[in-house]
């Protein structure tokens, strides 16, 4: 079996892969939902848009479920603390997600404009709200979350829901929403044609521009805007059992940039985030939509990876008691649990990826209004 410190690193990487996979796969579904009321101007056009993601959205949401399950099993302290502090935010995500299965299944059951319009806006909520909240959550992680542990290692959240909606976190929410909308617009341009495709390309280009500007603004704010980072100031034993209180942590300006100074190659991540978004918009406008989708996916990976690399080894910093901050060394499950989960992931993640690739290959091609009319009872 792999040693404990190696497994801690591996699971940090695997959770990151699952989060990026969720952003890429379920993200383009959410991006399409966000654009639905604006890119689709008629009922036929909106049905075309819905049918680009209809056959895949529920399978893609498995990435979200798997990511949550992996955090629960690999980082139980993070799961418990996050769902305590972000309780109402997570409920808002779940409430928004309720609109997706119901909207997909019931929107076309009744041929009435009011009924269908209502479900179109429901699908918009299901696509737009989760990325916004996830971005706000990441913004709060970078600032530190107000929690601490008592003598029995029970976490206590000392903030309020409204404190989560601070200016920097909202900027991160804009970034998250823009990059997901960009990704969905590029996917929509790849699967459609005509006026819908033209509007999707234009929306993707604007979203890419907003994403790049918000990404650069967030980076500048972290560096020069007075947001302190976190650094471990005591010796740590990577092989020791989890105990968040067995270290000392200091907050200092520029601490989130320390890893980039130690490993200059990490600068490739933010470069990929910016270049991928701009390349995705340009390639989509030039009609190279498949390459544009790949570039957009790389942009998402770069942006998420930038935040992960900056925070390493922190997973959930504490602003009220820095010593209680959760890191990959002290918030994890046992050696046996991480080892067992590693082999399960090694077997099943490739199966999921292979099946997903096969499903997209089988159902590839353009979705048109003619196809919808010819398959009235089987299309969404």
- The tens digit of pLDDT for each residue in 66-80 reads 888 899 999 999 998
Q: Which of 72, 69, 61 is nearest to 94 (CA)?
A: 61
Q: Which residues contact 379 (CB under 8 A, 6 or more apart)?
A: 47, 51, 54, 108, 371, 372
Residues 145-158 have a mean pLDDT of 84
Q: Which residues contact 341 (CB under 8 A, 6 or more apart)?
A: 11, 70, 73, 74, 333
DSSP state of 242: P
Q: Under a CB-based contact definition with an 8 Å cutoff, are residues 178 and 204 in contact?
A: no
Q: Is the pLDDT of residue 126 over 90?
A: yes
237 membership: H or E segment, kind and range = none
Q: Under a CB-based contact definition with an 8 Å cutoff, are residues 292 and 190 in contact?
A: yes
Per-residue pLDDT tens over the stretch 48-101? 999 999 888 888 888 888 888 899 999 999 998 888 888 888 899 999 999 999
Range in 108-112, 151-155, 342-346 the model is least confident about: 151-155
Question: What angle (nearest 5°) sits at the alpha carbon of residue 96, between those of residues 63 and 124?
Answer: 95
pLDDT confidence tier of residue 367, bands split at 50, 70 and 90: confident
Residues 186-194 have a mean pLDDT of 94
Burial class (CB in 10 A: 0-12, 13-18, 19+), 165: middle
**Other CB atoms within 10 A of residue 380 CB:** 20
| pLDDT for residue 378 | 59
| pLDDT for residue 322 | 92
Per-residue pLDDT tens over the stretch 299-342? 999 999 999 999 999 999 999 999 999 999 999 999 999 999 99
Cα 371 to Cα 192, 368, 374, 379: the distances in Å are: 11, 5, 5, 9
Name the packing angle between helices 194-224 and 167-191 (round to 10°).
150
Average pLDDT, whole number, for the chain?
91
Quote the percentage of the chain above a pLDDT of 90.
67
Residues 130-142 have a mean pLDDT of 94
User: Is residue 316 helix, strand or coil?
Assistant: strand
| pLDDT for residue 156 | 83
pLDDT confidence tier of residue 179, bands split at 50, 70 and 90: very high
Per-residue pLDDT tens over the stretch 245-271? 889 999 998 899 999 999 999 999 999
**Other CB atoms within 10 A of residue 375 CB:** 11
| pLDDT for residue 364 | 83
| Backbone dihedral angles phi then psi of residue 154, each to the nearest 5 degrees | -95, 125
Does the pTM of the predicted model rise above 0.95?
no
Write out the DSSP string of 141-205: HHH-B-EEE-TT--EEE---TGGGS-HHHHHHHHHHHHHHHHHHHHHHHHH--HHHHHHHHHHHH
d(CA 380, CA 373): 11
| pLDDT for residue 377 | 63
Q: Which residues contact 178 (CB under 8 A, 6 or more apart)?
A: 207, 208, 210, 211, 214
Q: Which residues contact 358 (CB under 8 A, 6 or more apart)?
A: none
Q: Which of 370, 359, 292 is nearest to 54 (CA)?
A: 359
Q: Which of 142, 134, 122 is nearest to 63 (CA)?
A: 134
- How far apart, in Å, do the first and last CA atoms of the chain sit? 48
E-assigned strands of the chain? 147-149, 155-157, 228-232, 249-253, 314-316, 326-327
| pLDDT for residue 379 | 63
Q: Is the pLDDT of residue 243 over 90?
A: no
């Amino acid at each position: 079996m792999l040693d404990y410190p190696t497994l801690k690193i591996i699971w940090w990487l695997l959770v990151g892969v699952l989060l990026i996979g969720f952003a890429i796969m379920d993200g383009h579904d959410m991006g399409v939902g966000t654009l639905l009321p604006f890119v689709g101007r008629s009922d036929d056009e909106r049905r075309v848009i819905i049918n680009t993601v209809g056959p895949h959205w529920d399978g893609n949401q498995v990435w979200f479920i798997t990511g949550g399950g992996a955090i629960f099993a690999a980082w139980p302290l993070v799961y418990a603390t996050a769902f305590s502090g972000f309780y109402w935010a997570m409920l808002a995500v779940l409430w928004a997600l309720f609109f997706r299965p119901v909207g997909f299944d019931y929107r076309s059951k009744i041929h009435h404009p009011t009924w269908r319009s209502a479900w179109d806006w429901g699908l918009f909520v299901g696509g737009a709200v989760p990325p916004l909240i996830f971005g706000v959550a990441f913004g709060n992680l970078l600032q530190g979350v107000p929690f601490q542990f008592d003598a029995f290692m029970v976490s206590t959240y000392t903030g309020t829901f409204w404190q989560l909606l601070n200016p920097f976190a909202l900027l991160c929410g804009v970034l998250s929403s823009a990059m997901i909308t960009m990704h969905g617009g590029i996917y929509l341009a790849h699967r459609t044609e005509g006026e819908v495709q033209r509007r999707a390309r234009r929306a993707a280009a604007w979203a890419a521009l907003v994403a790049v500007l918000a990404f650069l603004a967030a980076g500048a704010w972290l560096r020069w805007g007075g947001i302190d980072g976190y650094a471990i100031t005591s010796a740590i034993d990577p092989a020791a059992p989890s105990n968040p209180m067995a270290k000392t942590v200091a907050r200092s300006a520029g601490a989130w940039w320390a890893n980039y100074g130690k490993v200059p190659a990490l600068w490739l991540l933010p470069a990929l985030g910016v270049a991928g978004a701009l390349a995705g918009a340009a390639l989509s406008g030039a009609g190279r939509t498949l390459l544009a989708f790949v570039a957009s996916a790389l942009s998402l990976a770069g942006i998420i990876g930038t935040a992960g690399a900056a925070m390493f080894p922190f997973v959930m910093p504490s602003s009220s008691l820095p010593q209680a901050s959760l890191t990959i060394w002290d918030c994890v499950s046992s050696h046996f649990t991480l080892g067992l989960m590693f082999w399960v992931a090694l077997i099943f993640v490739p199966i999921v990826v292979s099946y997903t690739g096969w499903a997209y290959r089988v159902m590839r091609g353009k979705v048109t209004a003619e196809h919808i009319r010819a398959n009235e009872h089987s299309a969404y």
